[in-house]
Structure 1
Amino acid sequence: MNIKFQLEQAAGVVCKVMYPIPISSFSGRGTEIAVCTLSSIALLKKISNDDIMDKLLIIGRLFSENKGIDQLIHYCTTSHTMKYLILCGKDTNGHYPGDALINLMQFGLDDHHKIIGTRAPYPFIRCHPNLVNKFRQQIKLVDMRGCHNLNKIIETVNSLN
């Protein structure tokens, strides 16, 4: 493990202590559609307070290109009804989990479990490759990165329903 990686891991722990983010997800009443707001906490709160939650299975955030994506894969593949994941909001600078997720869906993993083609600095997935393949086959990713417009997100949800 290199020094840069160890320093970044330590910085991540410090950030969690200094800037805790208590909200990570909200459950909805839908069955097929999930929304990921990446690092956009205000967007997460705005959507969670809207009637669109009746059509969403879950809405959550994603800050990291490794552990976060591992957790996302596990959640999505244990849901037997989920079909769509809408990716919106602002990608986390430095980690770029949105970029990593898009590239995972498009190109998969190399032999070292690294996401192919991403700009994320540590895109190593711990999930078993079979689980990653199941995720890639089961879920249709809707790329709306950069979108913070609630009406456009609602329109997309309604078009998928």
Structure 2
Amino acid sequence: MNVVGEAIGELCKIILPIPEEYYFGNPDSSIAICTLSSINLLKNLANSEILNHISIAGRLLSENKGIDSIIEYVNKNQKIKTIIVCGKEVSGHKAGHSLFAVHKNGVDENKRIINSTSPDPYLTVSKFKIQYFQNNVNLVNLINETNYAEILKMIKIF
């Protein structure tokens, strides 16, 4: 990660704090939902009965720490087999794109996500954890889908 980018990120945390939000559901479920930057979609999911049918619903705002967190979570909670990625993509960061890129391509020797178009796609998790994520988790691409009913239909398929 470059020093200027890291400094800007720290400044943004102070000036424009964005809470990391996630909601736990049924710990026995194999499904997780990532709403990218769509906070209203996340709140709709969190305040509905669907939370009884999914393990966790949360946001993904960054192509580095956010993806690290997802990979760590699925390694610790190995019941997760499917992540539905929906909601609006994070402008500039393209965190959803990078999540799919690491799932498909992994990281290079510098831990940069291969074929990512994000500005700072460097991960800190181990290659072993990334490989577990690649081999054991199915990603469902609903990026830019914000229609709650459409997302519910997808959940019912699983």
Q: TM-score range by the shorter chain?
A: over 0.9
Counterpart residue number, 2:47: 49
Counterpart selection for 2:3 from 3, 6, 26: 6
Residue ranges of structure 1 left out of the alignment (5+ in a row) = none
Deviation for aligned residue 1:11: 2.4
Q: Deviations over 1:102-147 (max 9, x none)?
A: 1111111112211111101111111111110011111100010000
The one-letter code matched in structure 2 to 1:116 is I
Whichever residue aligns with residue 143 of structure 1, its letter is N
How far apart in 2 are the matches of 1:6 and 1:103? 24
Question: Where does structure 2 lack aligned partners over 5 or more consecutive residues?
Answer: none
Match status 1:130 vs 2:134: no
Alignment-mate amino acid for residue 144 of structure 1: L
Cα RMSD (Å): 1.4
1:115 corresponding residue in structure 2 = 113
- Secondary structure at the counterpart of residue 149 of structure 2: helix
Distance change in 2, residues 1:23/1:121 (3 Å): closer
Give the alignment's TM-score, normalised by structure 2.
0.93
Alignment: residue pair count = 157
Q: Distance in 2 between matches of 1:22 and 1:108?
A: 28
Structure 1 length-normalised TM: 0.91
Within the alignment, does 1:19 sit opposite 2:16 as a pair?
yes
Structure 1 moving runs of 4+ over 3 Å: none
**2:94 matched to which residue of 1?**
96
Percent identity of paired positions between Structure 1 and Structure 2: 35
Give the aligned residue type for 2:156: N
CA distance in 1: counterparts of 2:93 and 2:104, whole angstroms: 18
Name 2:65's counterpart in structure 1: 67
Task: Give the AA of the match of 2:4.
Answer: L
